[in-house]
Each structure stands twice: as structure tokens, then as C-alpha cells.
Amino acid sequence: MPLSLICACGARIELEDALAGQEVACPECQQPLKAPAAPQAPAVRTSAFALASLVLALVGAFTLVGTLAAVVCGLIAVATILRDRERLAGLGYAFAGIALGFLFTALTAFALFGPETFAVPGWMREKSMAEALDYSGPLEVAGKGWTITRPGETWGVAHGGPVNDPVADIFLNKAQPDVVLVQVRRHGFVDVRQESSDPKQSMEQYQAQLKAEYEADQDALFGGPTNPNAKGKDEGIMRVTNGVVRKTRTLPAAAPGYDGREMEMDVQAGGQRWTLVLRFYRNNSRNDKDAGRVYVLRAYSPARWAKENRAEFDKALDSFRLVK
């Protein structure tokens, strides 16, 4: 770009860039003139967001949080660099961070929530639940006045308490069972508990009461746009709710006086859709000392595993026996 200066005599002089900062003579009056220095180009630096995007994508691979943050930082970097190309660089880093962020997010989501082709979720559950489960002993598991049989050797037993699975523990906290059978790889659970009910209740009334525990939505329990006056603790997605009954049927009596019912439901638990099979056997003998006693059985798994688990669920539930 040519340099321009004006002499005191009024002459306007155009100089080549090579003469910037040097002394030249005015062609009109021969007076010495100092040529102006060449303008300094602004310093160019690499965008911090672009660098952060690439680092987060690589360091946070398979963490979801890290890879999503990489995408966000990359998009911010692209926007800021395009607005100030003379001062900012790093588009290559930003595009690489965005691409890797999307790639690792997709792979992580597939591994954690998609079909368990690579058995990653099953392996993770096995590690976290190892201390809570017992695979030793006979397949038949005895409780107080009842027995149930594990469908196979791959089913572990937890005697009450949490099993170190975030969503399964929501079910267990809702109604603490005496025994839990667990199929880790296919994310399946069967549990048994004993409780008491009002002997004056009919089977239909008790069934409606049991069903209602899984039907309530957040607004009904904790308040919201439709019920602002409700009181309680909002536990976010860490609850079992929004239950919808798909099938009901009457079961053969488990023992004299013990009538049975079954409900198959779709519920929301931990932000996921789960399939829940509820069975209960209730003592309806009004003059019996055990009148109103109920044995409640639950079989549950994420909906995507319901079909694979159903045969073994039925096998375990059908094995339930009342014993003296």
C-alpha cells in the first residue's frame, strides 16, 4: 500500500512501502522529509474458545458433559473468530473440537443408552453392583413364609437395601422389599415384600391403592401449574410416576384364602420409560389371624429390555410359593 505525505510547500508525495520511515527529498522544493512508518498489522492470537473446544473433546471423551461442552465452546469460537478475523485465529481447532465433540457424544450416548452391542452399560452395572449381589447358594430363595426361585445362575440376590443402580434404587426406596433378584446384564429386577392392609378393603380397593402409588404426577405430589398448593419435596426425575396400566388379570390363589391379581404398567423412572409388572396375593379370610396380609411382587426393567426379560420375569413370579 503506497505511503502518502504532504510537504510544507504544498506538494503531495506518494512513496513506495520500501521507503517507510526513511528520509526523502521533496521533488518540488528539495526539502528533506521523513516518510511515515508503515502501519503495524494488528496482532493475531488463537481463540481460547477454539483451544478449549479441542482440549475438552479429547480429554472429556466419553463423558457426555465434556464432549457437549466441547461443541458449545467450538460454536462460540467460530462465531467470535468470524467477527474479528484480523485479530483471532483458530478456526481449524474449533471445527476439530466441534466434530470430535459430536462424534464422542454420539458414541457415548449409543454405548450408555442404546442397544448394548458392546455390553458397556452391563459391564458398568456389574462393577457398581458387585458388592450388593450374591450369586452363591441354591436358586430357591426363602423369605418369611414364602419362597421364590431365581430364573438362572445369572440372577443375583440382594437382601434389602440399595443395589447401587440409580434407577432401580428409586423403586427400592419407594417400597423397601425383603428380597431383590437382579439380572445385571439385561437390567432386570424382581422383588418381594410383605405388608399389611385393612381387612375390610376389597381386592379392587387394595389394587386401586397399589396402582395409585405409580400413577401420580409431579404436579399432584409437589405442586406446579395445575396444583400450586401441593406441598412436598420435589425430587426431580428421581421418582417413579406417570404409571399407565396396560393389562390386568386375576391370578390363581397362592394358598387357601390368598387371592391374587396382576397389573402390567408403563411408568417413568429416572427420566426413562420402564415396564413394571405388579403382582399381589392378599389374605381375604375375614376370620383368619393373618387377614389383610399381602405379599407384593414386582418385576421391572427399562422398556427397551422388557421383551428380553419377560420370560424370566414370568418364571420368577410364577415360582413364588407361600410356605408354613
CATH number at residue 258: 3.40.1000.10
Residue 90 amino acid letter: G
Residue 201's closest CA among 124, 283, 120, 257? 283
SS3 241: strand
For residue range 234-269, what is the model confidence (pLDDT) as tens digits?
A: 345 568 888 999 999 999 999 999 999 999 999 998
Residue 135 shares a structural domain with residue 273: yes
Q: For residue 1, what pLDDT is reported?
A: 54
Q: How does pLDDT run along the chain (324 residues), one tens digit per residue?
A: 566 777 878 778 777 767 676 787 877 888 887 777 666 667 788 999 999 999 998 988 777 788 899 999 999 999 999 998 888 899 999 999 999 999 988 877 766 555 554 444 555 666 667 777 899 989 999 999 999 999 999 999 987 678 888 888 889 888 889 999 999 888 899 999 999 999 999 999 999 999 999 987 544 444 444 344 434 333 455 688 889 999 999 999 999 999 999 999 999 988 889 999 999 999 998 778 889 999 999 999 999 999 999 999 999 999 999 997
* Residue recorded with cell 447401587: 164
Contact 101, 70 (CB under 8 A): yes
**Distance (Å) of CA 225 to CA 218, 229, 270:** 10, 10, 22
Distance CA 193, CA 216 (A): 22
| Rg from Cα positions in the chain | 36
230 falls within a domain: no
Residue 68 shares a structural domain with residue 154: no
Q: Where a domain ends, among 87, 113, 139?
A: 113
